[in-house]
Amino acid sequence: MSAISNLGYMCIVARDLDAWQSFATRIVGALCRRTADGQSLLIRLDELEYRFQILQGDEDDLAVAGWAIDTSQELDDFVASLRAKGIEVHEADDARRDARLVERLFWCTDPDGLCHEFFTGARQAPLSQPFTSPLISGEGFETGRLGVGHYVQNARDVASTVAFYEQVLGLKISDYIRHEDFLPGQNVEATFLYARTGRHHSAAVVAMPTPKRVHHIMVQLKSLDDVGLGLDRCTDGGIAIQHGIGRHPNDQMTSFYMTTPSGFALEYGWGGIVIHEDDWEIKTYSQLSDWGHRMPVPLLP
């Protein structure tokens, strides 16, 4: 198994930081603060200083996947293993490391152009500032050792990108979904991958005819009620729903998909399983959802 413990954070480049701050606090139920230079937004889901960093820019897309490694020695060994495989790995300069609020940081780029960062020592928020959200009724977000959640990468070269995750980063295959005619004339083939602590997938790779690198990102709640309340907030707040409530067959997540200010989706879910590698069996599923996840039907005029 890879030295990678979990997906610790994600960085998104976005045009409108104000819209993201409103979305994160008013809809998602996160806590937010601007950095001192005003050029990025830190979105907090738990005891860490942040789980999402929104950077000012024109891309409106996922820019960085931040992978947590538990110890400094494991990080050194992991970086050495990447270099032995011919991967160009860089140690971050002080400015980049300090911007990520971590103790040590390295990075490389995958075949699809996504930047991957590897870190130890994520900074925790002060004990005097525990995470509490006025919108979350239950115990909060499912993070901790499982990491921030997951993302689905819309890769131009699926085979090379999957090989990077599996053969270079050392992530394990969770399972596959091959959904024929998901949309008229469009088949979806998705590969799901997990890290050491076993969230069903921290990353997935798919090819879809959309211009963005990311199809969606996911955050998981500890209460199904909080998913329903989030759906109500979207309806009340005029947030577009890309897929209604439903359940996936592979990770057993009950969720819906809302549109972020950058145009891609955020999956808001509950109930995702945790993989125990010793007794896990890789399967291929024939549909993306057991039920639901329907696209909204426009109302007739």
Of 118, 114, 95, 94, nearest to 105 by C-alpha is 118
Distances (CA, A) of 77 to 83, 87, 108, 109, 169: 10, 14, 15, 18, 12
Q: How many whole angstroms separate alpha carbon 108 and alpha carbon 117?
A: 7
Alpha helix stretches (DSSP H) within 9-91: 17-23, 72-84
Give me the pLDDT at residue 182, please: 60
Q: Per-residue pLDDT tens for 160-204?
A: 999 999 999 999 999 999 977 665 667 789 999 999 999 999 999
Query: Average pLDDT of the chain?
Result: 95
Q: Per-residue pLDDT tens for 46-60?
A: 999 999 999 999 999
- How are strands ordered across the β-sheet holding 40-44? 31-34, 40-44, 52-56, 4-14, 61-69, 115-120, 104-109, 90-91
Give ∠ CA 208-264-296 in degrees, rounded to 5.
Answer: 85
- How are strands ordered across the β-sheet holding 265-270? 284-285, 172-183, 186-194, 203-206, 150-154, 214-221, 265-270, 254-259, 241-247, 291-292
What average pLDDT score do residues 240-259 get? Answer: 97
What average pLDDT score do residues 1-15 get? Answer: 95
Q: What is the CATH number of domain 144-292?
A: 3.10.180.10
Q: What is the CATH number of domain 4-120?
A: 3.10.180.10
Q: How many whole angstroms separate alpha carbon 263 and alpha carbon 255?
A: 18
Would you tell me how many other CB atoms lie within 10 Å of the CB of residue 114?
20
Of 191, 192, 195, nearest to 146 by C-alpha is 195
What average pLDDT score do residues 244-273 get? Answer: 98
Do the beta carbons of residue 112 and residue 156 sit within 8 Å?
A: yes
Q: How many whole angstroms separate alpha carbon 89 and alpha carbon 141?
A: 32
Q: Per-residue pLDDT tens for 81-106?
A: 999 999 999 999 999 999 999 999 99
Question: In the chain, which residues fall in CATH 3.10.180.10?
Answer: 4-120, 144-292
In the predicted structure, residue 251 carries a pLDDT above the cut 80: yes
**pTM for the full model?**
0.96
Question: Which one-letter DSSP state was computed for residue 299?
Answer: P
In the predicted structure, residue 299 carries a pLDDT above the cut 80: no
In the predicted structure, residue 212 carries a pLDDT above the cut 90: yes
Q: How many whole angstroms separate alpha carbon 198 and alpha carbon 187?
A: 28
219, two tokens: 């955050």
